[in-house]
Amino acid sequence: MPTALPLPSPDGSRLPRRSLLRGGGAFALAGAGLLLPASTASASPALLRRHAPQLTHGVQSGDVTSSRAVVWTRADRPARMFVQVSPTGDFRRSCRTVRGPVLTAASDFTGRVELTGLPQGSDVDYRVVLGDPDAHRPDGASLEGSLRTAPGRRQRQGVRFLWSGDQAGQGWGRNPDLGGFPIYRAMTAREPDFFLHSGDTIYADGPITGDVLLPDGRTYRNVVTEAKSHVAQTLDDFRGAFQYNLEDDGLKEFFARTSQVNQWDDHEVHNNWYPHQIIEDPKYTEKSIDVLRGRGEQAWREHVPISSRRDDRVYRSFHHGALLDVFVLDMRSYRDSNADGAVPGGVGPEGGILGAEQARWLVEAMAASRATWKVVQADMPLGLVVPDSATGTDGIEAVAQGDPGVPLGRERQIAWILRELKRRGVRNHVWLTADVHYTAAHHYDPAHAAFTEFDPFWEFVSGPLHAGSFGPSALDATFGPEVRFQGVPPRQNTSPLEGSQYFGEVEIEEGGSLTVTLRDVVGAALWSTTLEPQD
């Protein structure tokens, strides 16, 4: 466990909450602790700094609760990670220092510290500082960040958060003409309390190989790196894909100021993968999904600020005061083959897209929630038909089976969940997702459904962050969804240079009303609705 040290901090200056992040980092060097060649003993301070460990991909925070938070960083060589927390933002006069792990090649020089004892419902300024691997004091490169802790369980504190997914897909990478990934600047301007990342954090199976001529005659320019020039198969390939995204300045600024709740989907490994699959993709020499999944998951866990306190489960929940509980799903790791996707039968928790254990956990956790709103962070939509005949999963990749009648295949598990929520009196649940690369609002109503044993609810879709745009997808009427809004591109696989990139925003007022706004790449509101909680 990290050790808290009552040490004075090196020089630094405050990064106020929701202000522009200063680039670079302050250095406070102590000659005795640095890993330097002997010939540098009398070198200049500038030379010493070049040989000291450097922070390469910013700082991030995640899985924040009312008293805990995970802080992440990456170095360019072996280094000791320290995190300083200041109640005032003045690290020179008042801070607590936590001595974290040594960042080594075994984790690609990434590391994280789990902070505890944070004040609830508060802005917290932190600073990551590097030191010599044997150091007991921070004495090297530093970067500052900020996060906001959740309020206590009984506090009715308003909250604003964002969600989206799908990053650097379909060959559309960091574009210097756009300033990299422009949507992160728009999201930073919204000053959210936290961000739900809905998966497809990278496109491990999507190389970025060069410039692309667009239909309107313009050229989409890609920043190209060796690691992203081919599909990811080795552990270093997967790591390089994460580093490609984390080299964007706008992304780094957003993540330094906004804590995350991360989930994954398929493209962290391979398109539409399922457990034990043997892929038939000629671009791959490694055909076992289980092998690729192990490497992809290791790289994902190394590069996102996810807590290690939850038995390595992706599915988990977070409390945010009296107004909000968030339930994070993993719709990838436990899915069945959907071999009986066209066969009707009784509804139940078994199999499906979540697996029986996760399905039961979701129902029990939502039934136990006393929060006004229960937000389900789903990595795939419920009612949109997402076909994939190439995977051997009976032609369906997500939940909806494409038949408007009684629940079939994976729909049977979702039907059981919705029926159980109604039976247990769980109301005011909202589902948020990405995956399909456009934005939409769907209202589910048993009055229009083939399966009617549920209370009405909403599902909101928003993405991609930076990838090809597609849609719209067909809706399956089994659960009675109705399109209230959809924003779609003018053609399939529209590039980020042409727009059609989206994120969603949720704001819950102290009085309990919940407003969802679907926004475009510059943050402009496309559509909005306000929901009042039902007793």
Is there a contact between 73 and 62 (Cβ–Cβ < 8 Å)?
Answer: no
Do β-strands 96-103 and 159-164 pair in parallel, antiparallel, or remain unpaired?
Answer: unpaired
Q: Domain locations in the chain?
A: 3-148, 159-531
Q: Cα–Cα–Cα angle for 508, 527, 470, nearest 5°?
A: 115
User: What length does the chain have?
Assistant: 535
Based on its alpha-carbon atoms, the radius of gyration of the chain, rounded to whole angstroms, reads: 23
CATH topology agreement for domains 3-148 and 159-531: no
Query: For domain 159-531, which architecture applies?
Result: 4-Layer Sandwich (3.60)
pTM of the model: 0.90
CATH class of residue range 3-148 = mainly beta
- 196-236 pLDDT, tens per residue? 999 999 999 999 999 999 999 999 999 999 999 999 999 99
- Of the candidates 426, 410, 424, 441, the one whose C-alpha atom is nearest the C-alpha of residue 505 is 441
pLDDT at 302 over 70: yes
- Of the candidates 241, 302, 236, the one whose C-alpha atom is nearest the C-alpha of residue 268 is 241
**Mean pLDDT for the chain overall:** 90
CA distance 64 to 150: 7
11 confidence band (pLDDT: 50, 70, 90): very low
- 242-301 pLDDT, tens per residue? 999 999 999 999 999 999 999 999 999 999 999 999 999 999 999 999 999 999 999 999
- 72-117 pLDDT, tens per residue? 999 999 999 999 998 878 888 888 999 999 999 999 999 999 999 9
What's the pLDDT score for residue 16?
Answer: 41
